[in-house]
Structure 1
Amino acid sequence: MKCPYCGNPDTRVIDSRPAEDGSSIRRRRSCDTCGKRFTTYEKVETIPLIVIKKDNNREQYDRGKIEKGILQACYKRPVPAEVIRKTVEQIETEIFNREEKEIPSKVIGEIVMHKLKDLDEVAYVRFASVYREFKDVNTFMEELKSILDKK
C-alpha cells in the first residue's frame, strides 16, 4: 500500500481487525520511510450495481450520492456525523442484501426516506420535498400532517 504522505510504495500492517460494519477489514499501517501511520479499509469487491433512473437511463451505483443527499437533508440539524455514516452503511447494506443487479432509483429513495424518518423528521421532510418533487405548499403540508398524525 502506497503511503499517502510520502508516496513510499512499501508500508507495513501494524494491526488488522474487522471494521464496525463487519463487512470490511480495518488495517493500521506504518510507513518505514517517513514513520507516519494511516488507516486503510479492505472490502470485498462486488458485482457493480446498476441504478435505473426515473427516465429509464442506467448508471452505476454511487454511494456518494446517498451521502450527499443525507448530508444536505441533515444540514444544520443535530445529527452527529457518526450517525449519518452508520445510516448510509445501513442503507447500502439494505440495497446490496437485495442481491439484484439492477435497482430502481425509486426503491433507493424510499429506503433513504424510511431511514431519515427514524433519524430526524426535519431531515426527512427536506429529503422528501426534493425526492417527491413537492409541487406546492399544499403537498408539503399533507406530508407534515401525515407525520403529525402518526405521533
Structure 2
Amino acid sequence: MLCPSCRSEQSRVLDSRTVESGSAIRRRRECSRCGTRFTTLERSILLVTKRNGVTEEFSREKVIRGVGRACQGLDVPEDALKVLAHEVEQSVRATHGAQVAANDVGLAILEPLRKLNEVAYLRFASVYKSFRSADDFENEIQLLRTLEAPDLS
C-alpha cells in the first residue's frame, strides 16, 4: 500500500473493520517512514461470466440501469433501485462466491424486483425469460397470483 504523502510501501495497520455488509474492509494505516495516517478500502471482486465466455466485474450500475428500464414510467424511487442492486450483489456473493454466471445474476434480480413492483417484474421477466407470446405473459401472471395467494390453512 503506497503512502499518499511519501509514496513509501511500508505501513502498518492500526484498525480494521468490515463495512458494506461485510463485502469490504476499511483499514486505518500509518506510514512507517513519514508517520502519515490514511484509510484504505479493500473489496473482494465479484466476477460475472457472460454467455459468450467473457468475464467482467459485477456492476451495481448495470443492475440499476437494467432494472431502471423495466421501471420506466412507474413510481419506483432511485433509492429503491440502489437497494435492490445491493441486495442482488449480496445474494449472488453468498450463493456463488467470487464468480457467477450472468444468468444467475438475472435470476437473483427477479424475486426482489417482484416484491418492488410487479409491472416492472413482468417487463424484466419478459426480456430475461424471452417471452414469445401473450401466453407467456399469462403464465407468468398466473404464477404471480399463485405466489400472492394467502395461505388459508
TM-score normalized by the length of structure 2:
0.65
Out of 108, 111, 114, the residue aligned to residue 111 of structure 1 is 108
| Cα offsets for 1:125-150 (capped at 9, x unmatched) | 01000101111121121111211233
Q: Secondary structure at the match of 1:107?
A: helix
**Structure 1 residue 54 and structure 2 residue 73: aligned?**
no
Deviations 1:71-91 (A, max 9, x none): 111111122221211111111
1:43 CA drift (Å): 4.2
Cα distance in 1, alignment partners of residues 137 and 96 from structure 2: 34
Q: 1:138 maps to what in 2?
A: 135
Q: How does 1:1-151 map to 2 (within 5 A)?
A: 43-46=41-44, 48-98=45-95, 100-151=97-148
Gaps of 5+ in 1: 1-9, 11-17, 26-41
Identity of aligned residues (%): 27
**Is the contact made by 2:48 and 2:57 (CA closer than 8 Å) also made in structure 1?**
yes
What SS does structure 2 have at the residue aligned with 1:54?
Answer: coil
Alpha-carbon offset, residue 45 of structure 1: 2.4
Find runs of 4+ consecutive structure 1 residues off by over 6 angstroms.
none
Q: Does the residue aligned with 1:44 lie in a helix, a strand or coil? A: strand
Distance 2:63 2:90 in 1: 13
Instruction: Indicate the SS of the match to 1:59.
Output: strand
Deviation sequence 1:42-99 (CA, Å, 0-9, x none) = 74222x3322223444333222221111111111112222121111111112222336
Look up the SS of the partner of 1:148 in the other structure.
helix
Q: Distance in 2 between matches of 1:20 and 1:49?
A: 14
Code of the aligned partner of 1:101: A
SS in 2 for 1:150: helix
Residues 122 and 104 (structure 1 numbering): CA distance in 2 closer, same or farther, change over 3 Å?
A: same
Equivalents in 2 of 1:45, 1:20: separation in Å? 9
Q: Give 1 or 2 for the bigger CA radius of gyration.
A: 2
Amino acid at match of 1:136: S
CA distance 1:117–1:19, change in 2 (3 Å)? same
Letter of the aligned partner of 1:117 in structure 2? R
Where do 5+ consecutive residues of structure 2 fail to align?
A: 6-17, 26-39, 149-153
Describe the SS at the equivalent of 1:134.
coil
The offset of 1:108, in angstroms, is 0.8
Deviates more, 1:94-103 or 1:107-116: 94-103
